[in-house]
Amino acid sequence: MLQVRQAKPQDIVAIRDLAKKCYPTEPPYTLAMLRGHINHFPEGQFVCEYEGKIVGYCATFIVSGNVALHPHTWIEVSGGGFASTHDPKGNYLYGMEVCVDTSYRHLRIGKRLYNARKKLCQYLRLEGIIFGGRIPGYGRREKSVESPEEYVELVKQRKFRDTVVNFQLRQGFEFRGILPGYHPDDRESRGYATLMVWRNPEIEPGTPRTLDDESTRSQRLHKRVRVATVQYGQRSLDSFETFKKYVEYFVDVVASYEADFVTFPELFTVQLLSIDNKADLTPAQAMETLTRYTEPFKEFMLELAIRYNINIIGGSHPTKTNDSNDSNEVYNVCYVFLRQGEIYEQYKIHPTPDERYWWNIRGGHEVSVIPTDCGPIGVLICYDSEFPELGRHLINQGAKLLFVPFCTDERQSYLRVRYCAQARAVENQCFVVLSGNVGNLPGVPNMDIQYGQSCILTPCDFSFARDGIAADTTPNVETVAMADLRFDDLTYARNSGTVQNLKNRRHDLYSIRWKK
């Protein structure tokens, strides 16, 4: 069976492998980039599946003709390959990728994918489709023509044959000029691309587009998301069962308010060390002891997420990994428990100097968005929020909501996290939720005092709460804060706000490249 369908998150690895096979000499798409395609504009990503195998992929996003019909590069127009420049108010569909397994080209997969694009363009009532097309035959003919423009004209006159250009012309696309430096890694095309345009025959050029949130249909049920943050009090415990009662109390409270998410603080499970109260443990041994609770903790929290129908950001917990080369390596891991019954992990990338020295905590290697029933989210554990590259990497992948579980001992430490989290909200035009510990825990190394003020932060613009704070708590008091967040406000701010940080990025000057 052969079908063209909308791409799913489960297809990402197969799509990456397909792209590697199709373009072996070019830098491959990363999994993060492909997550960005699907999260930014799920309706615009298509795969062709034949007998259970992904044999074709087509990526698109919406763009303004004022951008796409003028000189640009692939990096600029695609947001570095993440499709993060998707503009719901645009009037053209932009084709950023088509790749087809050469073993299956006899099935006319390319034509099927182009037709899927055209149907989407007409359904969304866009003026047309634009893309920068490869000219792989130009490299062989470069010395026999004066310019890439002349080469394309000779192809149109059938004096030269270029399989890619010929195919695109047969699909009804019009050659509008050459884009120099479009894709420098495309050696066959010498970095050039053709500016190709297909006009939607159902729309008169310049016709104002009637918007009905076509590009955000997948989020219609989740325009309003209710989030809760628990400012958790550290206290001595007499058993793991007592810990479970305290945690379930807060989950029960926020679930009664029909919250979609609840987040707990970083390392809030450290209070479990007070059960045995072994004063002779070194800090590193204390962390090692906590890792024994990992599986019971995960089992309990997942059961809560399902039973109370709420997504739980499980703060963080010291964890040993099974694949660690060093049996003494411990990681600071945030477990995210979804109400559908799934568990995701986000490792802390940057342990603080004290975490590394006293607790032997190692840093992780990847930050990835987590798919939830309310859209993709991201997690930055405490110190990670102070590195803007990580937040931007999550936003590039499609996150609009970031959670920051933190653990700070005094006001200066807290304010570093708070100010940086607010900066992430402003520069990425996203929501950020902070959750911290309060109270005292005598006898537990490096956790004896806490300072915290949990909060829910927004961008600073007219669509949002005053001071960029949707909700906050009284400092150093055990409590809960909640707020309703509307993703539509983010979409408006990103495309029509007083400032448009994401839209105004200079992709021609800088980018974030994740090495692993």
Q: Which residues are catalytic?
A: 266, 348, 382
Strand ranges in 235-392 using DSSP code E only, listed in sequence order: 261-263, 311-313, 317-319, 330-337, 343-347, 361-362, 377-379
E strands of 163-205, at which residues?
174-179, 193-199
CA distance 6 to 370: 19
> Residue 408 in contact with residue 414, Cβ under 8 Å?
yes
How many Å apart are CA 360 and CA 12, to the nearest integer? Answer: 34
Give the pair of three-digit tokens for residue 509: 């000057």
The single-letter code of the amino acid at 421 is A
Q: Report the distance separating Cα 438 and Cα 478, nearest Å.
A: 7
CA distance to 4, 217, 244, 266, 321, per residue, from 298 (Å): 38, 34, 12, 15, 14
> Which helix H or strand E contains 252, and what residues bound it?
helix 240-256
The bridge status of strand 401-406 relative to strand 431-439 is parallel
Q: Cα torsion for 323, 327, 333, 339, to the nearest 10°?
A: 60
Q: Tell me the residue type at 105.
A: R
Main-chain phi, psi angles of 338, to 5 degrees:
-95, 150
Helix (H, G, I), strand (E, B) or coil at 346: strand
DSSP state, 295?
Answer: H
DSSP-assigned beta bridge partners for residue 224: 486
- φ and ψ at 54, to 5 degrees? -80, 115
Task: For helices 163-170 and 148-156, give the axis angle rounded to 10 degrees.
Answer: 60
CA angle 135, 503, 179 (to 5 degrees): 20
**72 Cβ contact partners less than 8 Å away, ≥ 6 residues apart:** 132, 179, 182
Q: Cα–Cα distance between 118 and 110 in angstroms, integer?
A: 13
Q: Which two tokens stand for residue 230?
A: 């628990």
Asked if 178 and 152 touch (Cβ cutoff 8 Å), the reply is yes
Cα distance from N-terminal residue to C-terminal residue, the chain: 36
Bridge partner residues of 480 (DSSP): 230
Find out whether 380 and 417 touch, Cβ atoms under 8 Å.
Answer: no
Helices (H), 404-469: 411-428
